[in-house]
Amino acid sequence: MEVWFEEFLQGFIRLMSQPLLYWSIILLFVISIRRMKQERRRFGTRVYDIFTEGRSTWRISLVAGLLVSVFALAGGMVFTTASLLVVSGITILLSLPLKLTWLSPAYTLGISILLIFMISYVPGLSFIEQTIPGVTGVSLPGMAIILSILLVVEGVFLMKTSSRRTFPERVPGPRGKKIGQHRVKKLALIPMVTLFPAGVIEPIAGWWPVFSIGEGSYGLVMFPVLLGYEWLARAQSPKLSAIRLGRQTIAIAVLTFFIAVSSIFVPVLAAAAVLIAFLGRLAIYSIHSSREKNQPYFTEDHRGVRILGTIPGSPADEMDLLPGELIIRVNGIYVSSVNELYEALQTNRALTKIEVKDFQGENRFEQRAMYEGEHHQLGLLFVQENSYEPIAQ
């Protein structure tokens, strides 16, 4: 047991040498700064704080990291330094556009597995193994199973999407008028502990490690898996879109898992499992993109004022007003424009009462005491631009 404890410490030290750890921090910082600049340009104020793209992920990330690590250690999954560098390199390359679109494990791990598969089985690429020793020293069925588990985690993240953690945008519509959309993006760092072919851990049984290539003693390495996604919700609420995409992603992950398990007995099926995950995710988001070209959801509505977003910690946020809901009346006065809304706010400076129509088409009432200066700091964002917006921060 003392040997394992020492190797866990060594594994944590090896984490500090992983380039992907530092790249994830740089990437999160850069995309947050770019997003805040865009928010100030569109709305005159910063909507979300820095690093919001990575917040509220640590609980799921730790649980996911524990599950993947238990599988990797119980099955004896061994990664060489070269194979980890392949995964790191592919992940960094896919994130160079400074978007999170391609950081699904279906792409990062999927392309890595296919590359290692080609190096292993295509004669013309054998020189790569000679140039970078150990690049094929990893079990492809084991990697495919890890991919499927992480794809389930991505689906869980999607289904847990909060209406308060998507990023509103005001953009020109097809007819020149302004429309609203929400950019849904998340970046999570999942710590995976796996075996490393250098250490003092000896095989504990004749069958362990299961997914090892070669023999010898092993150490532990903690490797940061970067998981992310980014997409637009324009034709319906981002919450409903995220739930549907999450369910479809989990369905693809389950199919990938069963084929990956079968590849333990028929190794070539590992490539088939990866292709299903890769093409399945591409298909899911291609269908979603085509669906989002329909009638915009966040647009002007004669029945009231559509909420595009709320600023965290603002009076609107405290009143539980959600993006996509329709404000019908303010202080008993029907409103159909943003200017009318702010004028109605002035009729009662002590207490604000707002009637909204929710996603189920039912009306509900919210109210809150307002304090000096808060009438123009309600914290609501709308598709319509208005004269109050520069001070409605």
Contact 241, 184 (CB under 8 A): yes
Q: What is the predicted pLDDT for the residue at 73? A: 85
- Tell me what pLDDT residue 391 has: 38
What pLDDT score was predicted for residue 296? 87
Instruction: Please report the DSSP string for 316-373 in residue order.
Output: HHHTT--TT-EEEEETTEE--SHHHHHHHHTT-SSEEEEEEE-TTS-EEEEEEE--TT
Q: Is 374 helix (H, G, I), strand (E, B) or coil?
A: helix
Question: Which pair of tokens denotes residue 187?
Answer: 């970046």
- Type of residue at 79: F
Please list the residues that pair with 190 across neighbouring strands: 225
Cis peptide before 209 (omega within 30 of 0): yes
Query: Tell me, what amino acid is at 376?
Result: H
Token pair 């989990």: residue: 250
- Residues in a beta bridge with 369: 351
Residue 208: predicted pLDDT: 53
CA separation, residue 69 to residues 80, 190, 246 (Å): 16, 10, 23
Kindly state the tokens that stand for 112. 């890595």
pLDDT at 390: 43
Q: What one-character DSSP code corresponds to residue 202?
A: P
pLDDT given for residue 392 in this prediction? 42
Q: Name the residue with tokens 């069925």.
A: 141
Which tokens go with 280? 């399945």
Do the beta carbons of residue 341 and residue 327 sit within 8 Å? yes
pTM (2 decimals)? 0.88
Cα distance from N-terminal residue to C-terminal residue, the chain: 57
Q: What are 134's two structure tokens?
A: 């150990």
76 phi, psi to nearest 5 deg:
70, 45
- Spacing of C-alpha 222 from chain mean position: 21
Measured distance CA(59)–CA(213) in Å, rounded: 33
- CA 210 to chain CA centroid, nearest Å: 31
What is the reported pLDDT for 205?
52
pLDDT at 315: 86
Neighbours of 25 (CB within 10 A): 12
What is the Cα–Cα distance from 197 to 139, expressed in whole angstroms? 13
Number of residues written out for the chain: 393
Structure tokens at 383: 């598709």
The 3-state secondary structure of 77-126, one letter per residue: CECCHHHHHHHHHHHHHHHCCCCCCCCCHHHHHHHHHHHHHHHHHCHHHH
pLDDT in tens, the chain (393 residues): 676 677 778 778 888 888 999 999 999 999 999 999 999 998 888 899 999 999 889 999 999 999 999 988 888 788 888 888 999 999 999 999 999 999 999 999 999 999 988 887 777 666 676 667 677 778 899 999 999 999 999 999 999 998 888 999 998 887 778 889 999 999 999 999 988 776 556 555 554 555 555 556 778 888 999 999 999 999 988 999 999 999 999 999 999 999 999 999 998 899 999 999 999 999 999 999 999 888 888 888 888 899 999 998 888 888 888 888 999 999 999 998 888 888 888 888 778 899 999 877 889 998 888 765 554 568 889 887 654 444 344
**How far is 267 from 258, CA to CA, in rounded Å?**
13
Give the separation between CA 23 and CA 209, rounded to whole angstroms: 31
Residues ≥6 apart with Cβ < 8 Å to 3: 200, 201
Instruction: Classify 381 as helix, strand or coil.
Output: strand
Report the C-alpha gap between 359 and 379 in whole angstroms: 20
What pLDDT is attached to residue 270? 93
Contact between 47 and 168 under an 8 Å Cβ cutoff? The reply is: yes
Cα pseudo-dihedral 240, 245, 247, 251, rounded to 10: 170
